[in-house]
Amino acid sequence: MTRLILLAVAVLALGGCADLGAKPWQRGTLARYDMQLDCDPVLAGLDDHIYFSKEASSGGRGFGGGGCGCN
Amino acid sequence: MRLIIAVLMLMSATAAGAAELPAALATYQGKLVYVDFWASWCGPCAESFPWLNRMQEKYGADLVIVGVNVDTDAGAADAFLKKHPARFDIVRDPAGRLPELYAIEGMPTSVLLGVDGSVLHKHSGFRAHQTAEYEAAIRAALPREEARK
């Protein structure tokens, strides 16, 4: 019985993991320009150049979606 | 043991199946309502506004378009509306109760509610080349004599 209750509590606690992250309508802050990973194109270009010089490869920085949840 | 089962049953009982319109939309009870969830920070929302204006103009006799704004900053929403005027009703829901209720998966999302409040059609995102599909869903929900026009 005690085990069953403990199991029930443990399973119910899993519900806490069901709601992680911002909902689509809560992404206003994430969608802000200054929240973008590459909000400064010059800086991003310099970073790319350094990366290319060091790693002999380039690209792979981009990904779909700007955090607004539109995609 | 019974208590645990009772608690579990209570927890699994979900909220209303949206048959009756939520309080924020109660004034539209008995009407065909096209609910569009938008925010000032959402690019496609801005694109959708001219189309929504056209739809409201075209089907205004049978359809009410309600733009539900989910901005937490009312000023941002006002600025957006100045730039992209809306010729349809606007409801503000900064707490996000309505998008939660209709479990929207992206911004913008539109939900077409029948006269009984049931969800007839729902689409996420706004793409200009798909507007014919969106309009077809509206036409399918119109009263028969209107749809034939």
Q: In this model, does residue B17 exceed pLDDT 50? A: no
* pLDDT tens sequence for chain A (71 residues): 899 999 999 999 888 877 777 888 998 888 888 888 777 888 888 988 898 899 888 777 665 555 555 55
What's the confidence (pLDDT) of residue B18?
46
* A28 to B105: CB separation less than 8 angstroms, yes or no: no
The SS3 call for residue B67 is strand
Q: B34 pairs with which residues across the strands?
A: B65, B112
| Residue that the structure tokens 């200054």 belong to | A34
* Alpha-helix residue ranges (DSSP H) falling in chain A: 2-14, 41-55
Which residues of chain A are within 8 Å of residue B76 when distances are taken between CB atoms? 28
3-state secondary structure of B90: strand
Is residue B149 over pLDDT 80? no
Tally of CB atoms within 10 A around B29:
13
- Cβ neighbour number for residue B41 with a 10 Å cutoff: 25
When scoring B14, B41, B45, B127 by the number of chain A Cβ atoms within 10 A, the one with the most, hence best to mutate, is B41
The whole-number pLDDT of residue B2 equals 67
Q: What ipTM does this complex have?
A: 0.70
- Of all residues in chain B, the percent with pLDDT exceeding 90 is 67
What is the DSSP secondary structure assignment for residue B22, as one 8-state letter?
P
Q: Residue B121: which of B139, B106, B107 has the closest Cα?
A: B139
Separation between Cα atoms, residue B39 and residue B68, nearest integer Å: 8
**For position B13, what pLDDT does the model report?**
44
Name the percent of chain A in helix, strand, coil, to the closest 5. 55, 0, 45
Is B71 part of the contact surface with chain A (CB cutoff 8 Å)?
yes
Q: B33 pairs with which residues across the strands? A: B64, B113
Partner-chain contact A68 B41, CB within 8 Å: yes
